[in-house]
Structure 1
Amino acid sequence: MKIVHITPHLGGGVGKAHASLCAADPDAAGHHYVLLEEPRDRRYLEQVLKAGAQVSLAGDDDRLRGLMAAADIVQFEWWNHPLMCGLLAGPPLPAMRPVFWSHVSGVSAPFIPPGLIEAADRFVFTSACSRLAPNLEARHLARTEVINSGFCHDEPGLPGSYGTRTGISYLGTIDFTKMSPAMMQVIDRLDSDDVGVDVWGGVASDSPVHAAIAAMANPGRFRLRGHSDDPVAALSQSSIFLYLLQPFHFGTAENALVEAMSLGCVPLVFANPCELAIVRDGETGLVARSVDHAVEQLSWMLEHPDEVSRIGVKAREEVRRLKTPVRSVAAFRSVWEAELQQPKRIADFAAALGPTPRNWHEALNGGAPTTREASPQVSQSASKGSLAHFRAWYPDLDQAHRKPAASRA
């Protein structure tokens, strides 16, 4: 099969997922990734190439449409990126067999437009939590699949016993677009002088995270360790993975959470839909219903290392059995083979999004006005599907089918 993937880029979570899939796929040479923007992070792109797949920039419209028309399957790697919206809402695309893989949950903004699911042949979620999206009906969900994109580490587990691994760690996005300020509150309220959390990840110098740490009664407990290229080493002294996220975050497969569990770290998470699809309370981790409950749970974990050890073994076994790229490759192959039995067709994606960039942004934010940011997890920076991000590519938000600003002569 010739599979053409259309994606804004191969950085971050989507790049990591496809690098793992290609490495596990003996037919990786049949995949061609077409990027809609110049790559900035080439780490996973290089891994995709090493596995034998092709990667190219979209280039001119005729070339892109030619690649789509020649493919057996066209898979759109979907999230609320303005360039993907511009492609789908622009002039009609050639006849194809369109499959979508969504890298946002849709449980909160950015939502998944129901019309996009109706226009696709198959629409694939990365987490079962997406089936809780408030704007989707049973008829939409009947057209969906769930294929995981967050995978376990290849490492057999962290070195050392739970008797020597007593630390608490967080690894991931250090910004209140994702991480909850409750992280500071919970660690601050522990009744112990000898406790702290090692926090791994980059944080901007002007981030409000710094002010939140400074406001703690015990700021030394929140230890910023910086970015790590070696998560196994970063988590090597930890038995507890403190992963308290905002209720409105739009993550799905949560790579950091799955990877930590695969190394035997026991997660403490909030009862958000995405985390509940990964962590089974009391079995593979602990789930807190409030800040007070999180303090109680974390205190219990510190006082019961043997119980934490038991849960850690269960967590490692479960994610290493279920969260593998081999399983996801097989699931996709079933989807693609079923699609090959269907004729190619011209799909109307534009109707799901509307004619202008302002319409697209509103469609993804539940019709919210675009005079301000519609969702608290999106800042005014020109990134992550914010209104500023749309305006950076399409300065005139009300002009239909305009080419992206960066592509104009």
Structure 2
Amino acid sequence: MKILHIAAHLGGGVGKAHAEITACDRGDIRRHFALLEEPRDRRFADAIIAAGATIEIISDPARLVVLAADADIVQVEWWNHPRLYAALCVAALPPARIVFWCHISGLFAPFLPSGLKAVGNAFVATSSCSLPEGETPRCKAIGSGFGFAVAPDAEPAVQRNPRAVGYLGTVDFAKMHPGIFDAIDAAAPVSGAFSVTFHGGFTPDNAVARAAAAMRNSDRVRLAGHAPDPRAALEGLGIFLYLLDPCHYGTAENALVEAMSLGIVPIVLDNPCERAIVEHGVTGFVEPDIAAAARRLAWALDHPDALSATGHAAMRAMDRTRRPAHSADAFARLYDRVLCEAPGLVDFPALLGSGPVEWFLSTQAPHRDGWPTLLATKPWASTSTESKGSLSHFRGVFPDDPDLARL
């Protein structure tokens, strides 16, 4: 069974997910990854090769046509990367059995192109939050975020470090809730002083660093920078303060799943993605707003003995539901079904648009009838110019496109 994966790259969560799934694959599955740009970090690409898959970098769309014709199934690793739009619209793939694995929620910008769930042979979300209409035989949720393997009799980390609070992940308000430092400022535990350690790369002059410095209680925050060993960083925590922007783009939330798998008690906001991972009062705490999160943090610091059962429950839940073998098995069953179907054509230019401007605008509104409003208001002008899938990213890939320049 030959699976061709078309992916922009294998960095971050996508690369990690495939490295772990490939290592658990059924014996008859052979994966080949066609990457649209050179990997900046080869850790996961090398792990995928070590697990038995093959990888090549594609510079000519005609090569995708050859690879797709030879594959039993073509799996498109979907997110709003400009090179992915260009490759699919230019290559003119032959009839193929096509599976989309979507690595963004699609609930907010970046949106999914209208009609993406209806084309090809299957649409797979990485979180059930992306399928508010529920699962169907052709629309499934298969997770891409996996916990760490721990011994069955391991104690939860919160027992060892009940007052150690931290965050690990993207240290940028493109992902974090802008009020996260307000929550830390407002928390008033009677048990005394505390601090929150943020693990993740940042620049000293970015918005997060400035917001931390402007706190009333700036001594409560430590920006530790990049964590070369995420597991080691997490094992020093007992409480995971993971307050994300309500419109964040994530689904897998590897850091949250990994923290819970170690028995660290999460405090999150009531966003669709986090709600699909954390069960309030059982495996962690899902709070409605920043003020409630501050109160929950203070309560957790004052009641360390009450957190042990929650840490145990988080460990068991992640072991039961967030393991790579589960996703490998789910994909194998999906592939078996898709192989029984006939290959078909997908008209990608009709689905995605005729060029870079239309490709970009499709990420900013769920339907094309919303584009006139977008062009009048330009909401992307207030977002980070460095973020993935941003207008700046599209212009970097298509520097000579005059329509993008006008936009």
TM-score when normalising by structure 1: 0.91
CA distance in 2: counterparts of 1:318 and 1:376, whole angstroms: 41
Look up the equivalent residue of 2:180 and give its one-letter code: M
Query: What is the correspondence of 1:6-405 to structure 2 with a 5 Å cutoff?
Result: 6-27=6-27, 30-132=30-132, 143-156=138-151, 157=154, 162=159, 164-192=161-189, 193-366=192-365, 367-368=370-371, 369=374, 374-375=379-380, 378-381=383-386, 383-397=387-401
Runs of at least 5 residues in structure 2 that lack an aligned partner in the other structure: none
Change (3 A) 1:161 1:338: closer
Deviation larger for 233-242 or 5-14: 233-242
Look up the equivalent residue of 2:280 and give its one-letter code: D
Q: CA deviation at 1:229?
A: 2.2
Change (3 A) 1:331 1:376: farther
> Helix, strand or coil for the counterpart of 2:140?
strand
C-alpha contact (below 8 Å) 2:123/2:139 kept by paired residues: yes
Q: CA deviation at 1:205?
A: 3.0
> Helix, strand or coil for the counterpart of 2:39?
coil
CA distance in 1: counterparts of 2:62 and 2:91, whole angstroms: 12
- Residue 405 of structure 1 is matched in structure 2 by none
Change (3 A) 1:166 1:51: same
CA distance in 2: counterparts of 1:377 and 1:256, whole angstroms: 27
Q: CA deviation at 1:291?
A: 1.3
Look up the equivalent residue of 1:145 and give its one-letter code: K
CA distance in 2: counterparts of 1:73 and 1:342, whole angstroms: 10
TM-score when normalising by structure 2: 0.91
CA distance in 1: counterparts of 2:137 and 2:329, whole angstroms: 21
CA distance in 1: counterparts of 2:46 and 2:376, whole angstroms: 39
CA distance in 1: counterparts of 2:114 and 2:158, whole angstroms: 48
Look up the equivalent residue of 1:68 and give its one-letter code: A
Q: CA deviation at 1:352?
A: 1.5
Q: CA deviation at 1:375?
A: 4.6
Q: % of aligned pairs identical?
A: 45
CA distance in 2: counterparts of 1:376 and 1:360, whole angstroms: 17
Q: Deviations over 1:254-274 (max 9, x none)?
A: 000000000000100000000
CA distance in 2: counterparts of 1:6 and 1:207, whole angstroms: 34
Look up the equivalent residue of 2:170 and give its one-letter code: T
Look up the equivalent residue of 1:379 and give its one-letter code: S
C-alpha contact (below 8 Å) 1:158/1:232 kept by paired residues: no
Q: CA deviation at 1:392?
A: 1.3
C-alpha contact (below 8 Å) 2:77/2:101 kept by paired residues: yes
Change (3 A) 1:30 1:277: same
C-alpha contact (below 8 Å) 2:158/2:311 kept by paired residues: no
Q: CA deviation at 1:26?
A: 4.3
> Helix, strand or coil for the counterpart of 1:238?
coil
CA distance in 1: counterparts of 2:383 and 2:42, whole angstroms: 25
Look up the equivalent residue of 2:104 and give its one-letter code: V
CA distance in 1: counterparts of 2:391 and 2:270, whole angstroms: 29
Q: CA deviation at 1:350?
A: 1.7
Change (3 A) 1:54 1:378: farther
Change (3 A) 1:374 1:87: farther
Change (3 A) 1:230 1:371: farther
Question: RMSD of the TM alignment (CA)?
Answer: 2.2
C-alpha contact (below 8 Å) 1:184/1:212 kept by paired residues: yes
